[in-house]
Amino acid sequence: MEKLLCPTKLEKLLACTDGSPDSEEAVKAALALANACNSKVYLMEVIEELPLDPELFPLQEAVVQRERQALEYLDSWKVEAHKLGVSLETRVVLSETPFTGIIGAAQEIQPDLIVMGRHGGSRLYRLFMGNVTARVIIHSPFNVLVVPKDVSLDFKEIMIASDGSPASYAAWEEAVKFAQRLGSRLIAISVAVSEQEMPVAQGVIDKLKSDAARAGLKLEALVRSGRPYEAILQAATERKVDLLVMGALGLSGLKAFLLGSVTERVIAGAPCAVLVVKEAFH
């Protein structure tokens, strides 16, 4: 991976892995960012625990064995971290679910960024991983970076997807910060779900264009109609984007489910890393 420049202040990174090759790029990305930003990395894996039931003793032994394997895997990254001069702390967390384990660790560590991987397996497996990621994004106040398998992190071409909400504007400000600091090419897209809403999407883009001009940045502005996730993914693919930046709110109930579904679809199909910026964290 080409050495990165530090895009923003990042003192603590929480990198989440399941020990599989598919999640290696997330760990590599976290180490590369830490090397660039002089950050500390907390590398964790969640092992699902079982109820204390004598009948489940053989399975509990398997959990203990899995915990040992996880510790060995996490420790194997210390060599790479040492080469990069990165401070690395490893943790194996026993939890009922991966989601609760990640949230609990994040609440304790208070990271500047959570880094997660994306699997390239079956559609069903990607759906499951998307659900975990979406729940972390919704319920955690921290920004989340999702790095797909076989994708090296870079910041040369940055696309911001905006719907005009406060959360998406927080994402816009983060993207501007990256572009100003790194000299990145900046692209903005707003998607109307119908032709009738095109003026709204255009208004969102017009505001971003004005903001970019005030910041001394060139902005490629895109207005599209249709399903938001499809339009965003198509534009990101066409423009060969390195990083897609989106906003997210901490919601509950039906809105959280819908947000998780959209986020899940974008993350599952993105050809690049996705940074989800939380308004509360910002």
Residues 100 and 188 grouped into a single domain: no
Q: Provide mean pLDDT across the span 40-62.
A: 72
Judge whether residue 129 has pLDDT over 90. no
Residues 66 and 185 grouped into a single domain: no
**pLDDT confidence tier of residue 260, bands split at 50, 70 and 90:** low
Residues 56 and 164 grouped into a single domain: no
Q: What CATH number should be reported for the domain holding residue 67?
A: 3.40.50.620
| 87-108: pLDDT as tens digits | 999 999 988 888 899 999 999 9
Please say whether the beta carbons of 221 and 252 come within 8 A. Answer: no
Judge whether residue 18 has pLDDT over 70. yes
- Domain termination site, one of 102, 124, 148: 148
Judge whether residue 177 has pLDDT over 90. yes
Counted domains in the chain: 2
Q: Does some domain include residue 123?
A: yes
Domain extent for 242:
157-278
**pLDDT confidence tier of residue 13, bands split at 50, 70 and 90:** very high
Residues 16 and 144 grouped into a single domain: yes
What pTM was computed for the model?
Answer: 0.89
Q: What is the pLDDT of residue 49?
A: 72
